[in-house]
Structure 1
Amino acid sequence: MNIYVLMKRTFDTEEKITISGGKINEDGAEFIINPYDEYAVEEAIQVRDAHGGEITVISVGDEETEKQLRTALAMGADKAVLINTEDDLDYGDQYTTAKILAEFLKDKNPDLIIAGNVAIDGGSGQVGPRVAELLDIPYVTTITKLEIDGSDVKITRDVEGDSEEIATSLPLLVTAQQGLNEPRYPSLPGIMKAKKKPLEELELDDLDLDEDDVEAKTKTLEIFLPAKKEAGKILEGELEDKVKELVHLLHTEAKVV
């Protein structure tokens, strides 16, 4: 089975993020595999181990993305491809990424493409479905269970806390939801093997694309952090006094009464 995983390098949102010049400051920031893409890598490994085949992990980004691709290889993927846009693009959006990925995949005859449901830094959930549309193949999002029998596929997907059963067939693109599996940690032997696994680096020219072909359809107007919340207040004294003080604060500060 010819399996591809779409992977993104993202900020670790558990770490402190700062804004500088209207952009997220990358100096000192921690980067990780997008957590939903870890579910995708794990599911690809389980499918390959059950049905045979090969896993290729693809990412669009800069040369620093190689670290996250090597992590995916250490988890158990067979090959990786980095489409390096650092020197070609100043700005891109979900259309840009999807167009590049689809152009790479169009002659690869994928049986199964697995992406994360969303990226934790943007949260649009657009790239996977856009790739499927460009390749003209079926897609199912937010999957929590995947069963393959020959070319027939049965899927359970999350629907706002409920579930939906879907029957479809390969070739197919799916996006992985939390709960699909438990991603493995790279083992020491896996980390050592990953250093020798093939990692191909391409640029837009290698895909016969130029900047105009992948021009963003949207523009980010502003990036900002949420406003800081004011510290809460603890009212002391007798109950009657606390009620009076609470009403006063709701009127003068919160302005809700």
Structure 2
Amino acid sequence: MEILVCVTRVPDTAENEIEVNADGSDIERDSLVYSVNEWDNYAVEEAIRIKESSGGSVTVVTVGDGESEEVLRREMAMGADRGILLQDESFAGTDGRGLATILKAEIEKGKYDLILAGAQADAGAGEVGGMLAALLDFPYASLVNSIEIVDDKTLKVGREVDGGNIEMNRISLPCVLSIQTGINEPRYVGIRGIRQVASVQIPVHGAGELGLSTAAVEPRVRREDYFVPELGAGAEMLDGSNEEIIDKLVEMLKAKGGLK
């Protein structure tokens, strides 16, 4: 099975204090530590497991700048067979539909049975997977937390739905799936693996190679502002034993009309 996984380089929230810049146009990025998007990492692990059990290959692709190569190399060290960087000045600042358009152009250059993406990949919007499927006219499932190969034309996928329930579906190949965290446990990537792929040539495809005009990736949605919400009244912390705290809480609820 030929699998393509869309990955993204994002600020590592475990390693950074995220702050809005002075004019509210963006977050402060000068000293940020970056890593692969967590949801995408689960998607790559799932792709590698499918390859290990059923054969085929795994390609990772990202839209970004030269620094995004580090994300591709990390996923190649994890077990992906190759990486592709989609880089062009016209791609900078594009929106979800623009990203889906860029990825579609690359996908149509190859022949893939399965396209995976992280469920929360595009600044948390969770829209690129669905848009990509629509542009390709492929079947689509979101929030996927299990994949079973039925035959060479069909998958059985589980989706996480409200209330912690799982919805099972059969979906025809080729298709696009957005992967939820928890579908697997991504493997550890060691220094040795990273060194092995450090010198591997990663092809870079721009707008010309993809046959895309500037108008095709022009954003239709523009981010107007970043801001930190104003703080409301502070919380009142209750001290004492569990019994004392419960008594105080009950009295406060009665005083505010929450209990009679």
Q: TM-score, normalised by structure 1?
A: 0.87
Q: Does the Cα contact within 8 Å between 1:79 and 1:198 map onto a contact in 2?
A: no
User: Quick one: structure 1 residues 151 and 223, their matched pair in 2 at CA, closer, same or farther if it must change by over 3 Å?
Assistant: same
Q: Does the Cα contact within 8 Å between 2:90 and 2:217 map onto a contact in 1?
A: no
Query: Structure 1 CA distance, aligned partners of 2:209 and 2:232?
Result: 49
**Among 29, 43, 48, the residue aligned to 1:40:** 43
Shifted more, 8-17 versus 91-100: the winner is 8-17
User: Quick one: structure 1 residues 190 and 95, their matched pair in 2 at CA, closer, same or farther if it must change by over 3 Å?
Assistant: same
Deviation at residue 70 of structure 1 after TM alignment: 1.0
Q: Give 1:129's aligned residue.
A: 130
Q: Does the Cα contact within 8 Å between 1:114 and 1:175 map onto a contact in 2?
A: yes
Quote the RMSD (CA, aligned, Å): 2.6
Alignment map for 1:150-229 (pairs within 5 Å)? 150-160=152-162, 161-228=164-231
Amino acid at match of 1:138: P
Residues 116-169 of structure 1, C-alpha deviations (whole Å, 9 max, x = no match): 0112x7211110111111111111111111011322211111112211010122
Q: What number of residue pairs does the alignment pair up?
A: 245
Identity %: 36
Query: Structure 1 CA distance, aligned partners of 2:91 and 2:72?
Result: 21
Q: State the secondary structure of the residue aligned to 1:46.
A: helix
The runs of 4+ residues in structure 1 deviating greater than 3 Å are 226-236
Gaps of 5+ in 2: none
Gaps of 5+ in 1: 251-257
Deviation at residue 209 of structure 1 after TM alignment: 1.1
Query: Structure 1 CA distance, aligned partners of 2:169 and 2:215?
Result: 38
Query: Structure 2 CA distance, aligned partners of 1:90 and 1:58?
Result: 16
Residues 13-70 of structure 1, C-alpha deviations (whole Å, 9 max, x = no match): 2321111122111110121111000000000100111111111100001111111111
Q: TM-score, normalised by structure 2?
A: 0.86
